[in-house]
Amino acid sequence: MFKSASLTADCIKASPQVSDLVHSPFTTRLGATMFEYYEKYPEHAARFAKAMAGVTTSKSGTFFFDRNTMANRPGSPVDRKPSTLGDVFPWDTLRGTVVDVGGGSGHISIALARRFPHLSFRVQDSEKMLAQGRRVLAKEDPAVASRIELQQHDFFQPQQPGGNAVAAFFLRHVFHNWADADSTAILRALVPGLEAAPARTPILISDRVLPCLGDGTPLHEERAMRRQDIMMLVGLGAKERTRAEWETLFRAADERLELKRVHAQGQSALLEVVLRK
């Protein structure tokens, strides 16, 4: 990643108007997109997965220098913890099946299913990720495992109508991996599912909402989010988004998509989006 970062200026010079998976500093440096590279080098992929798991389970965020006390203090709690996610949205108001789109091996759905026993989950991802999920589910409490279905699905393809059973479409840490054109396509593919579901069935997006300049966000939090934004650019030609950028994305995907509410802020944000019918 550091070597890729050093080629950011070259990448932008070569492709000033387009930034995406292919036109990214990572691909410029290594001649393969991040997904292709990790497919080719499983040992590097395993190290990356371990680092991601470390961030998820970490007890505190980064440290920051407190100018008042002149001491290092722990940063805000890591947003990636499933417990935080369970607190930022009233999951108990939902009924039926939450479709966890790009849900990986299902670890977040499992955590939510433990906490909200009235909900079922459908985890959608590639066969490779779901195979890991099957191994995890085999060791899980059957009362939880029986409420989790694993379904192979490419999120660029339209959702099959799930009808009344669908409580929400949930996407965690998906959009920040993708440039606007790809993110728009992922959102658009959800629309057939929303059209078949009960009115106001939400899309729940767990991703960062970047602060606007000078809006009072503590500097250490803003720095962490902007650093993440640059990492998404370097690795994937993608980005984190401000609230206004999210709203532009929803409108580009479908004029009827409306941001109903942003639950929590910044690192822990969860965006609730509905389709006006």
Ligand X SMILES: C[S@@+](CC[C@H](N)C(=O)[O-])C[C@H]1O[C@@H](n2cnc3c(N)ncnc32)[C@H](O)[C@@H]1O
Question: Token pair for residue 34?
Answer: 């991040």
Angstrom distance (rounded) from CA 144 to CA 111: 9
Residue among 73 and 128 whose Cβ is closer to ligand X = 128
Q: Which of 98, 130, 236, 217 is nearest to 178 (CA)?
A: 236
Q: By C-alpha distance, which of 239, 240, 238, 236 is closest to 29?
A: 236
Q: Which of 107, 118, 153, 176 is catalytic?
A: 176
Give the residue among 133, 144, 139 at the shortest CA–CA distance from 111: 144
118 catalytic residue (yes or no): no
Identity of residue 54: G
Q: Which of residues 130-159 bind ligand X (CB under 6 A)?
A: 154-156
| Contact between 137 and 173 (Cβ < 8 Å) | no
Min separation Cβ 68 and ligand X, Å: 35
Residue with structure tokens 């799930």?
162
- Least distance between ligand X and beta carbon 33 (Å): 11
Binding segment (CB under 6 A) for ligand X, from list 170-178, 191-199, 244-252, 254-262: 170-178
By CB under 6 A, the count of residues binding ligand X is 14
Among 7, 108, 144, 224, binds ligand X (CB under 6 A): 108
Q: Confirm or reject binding of residue 252 to ligand X (CB under 6 A).
A: no
Two tokens, residue 230: 């640059």
| DSSP state letter for 149 | E
Give min distance, CB of 35 to ligand X, in A: 7
Alpha helix positions (H), the chain: 2-5, 8-14, 25-30, 34-40, 42-57, 82-88, 107-115, 127-138, 142-145, 180-196, 219-236, 243-253
Q: Does 102 bind ligand X (CB under 6 A)?
A: yes
Q: Output 12 or 45, the one with its CB closest to ligand X.
A: 45
Closest CB 178 distance from ligand X, rounded Å: 9
Binding ligand X by CB under 6 A: which of 6, 126, 146, 160? 126
Shortest distance (Å) from residue 56 CB to ligand X: 7
List residues with catalytic annotation: 176
Residues that bind ligand X (CB under 6 A): 102-104, 108, 125-126, 129, 154-156, 172-174, 177
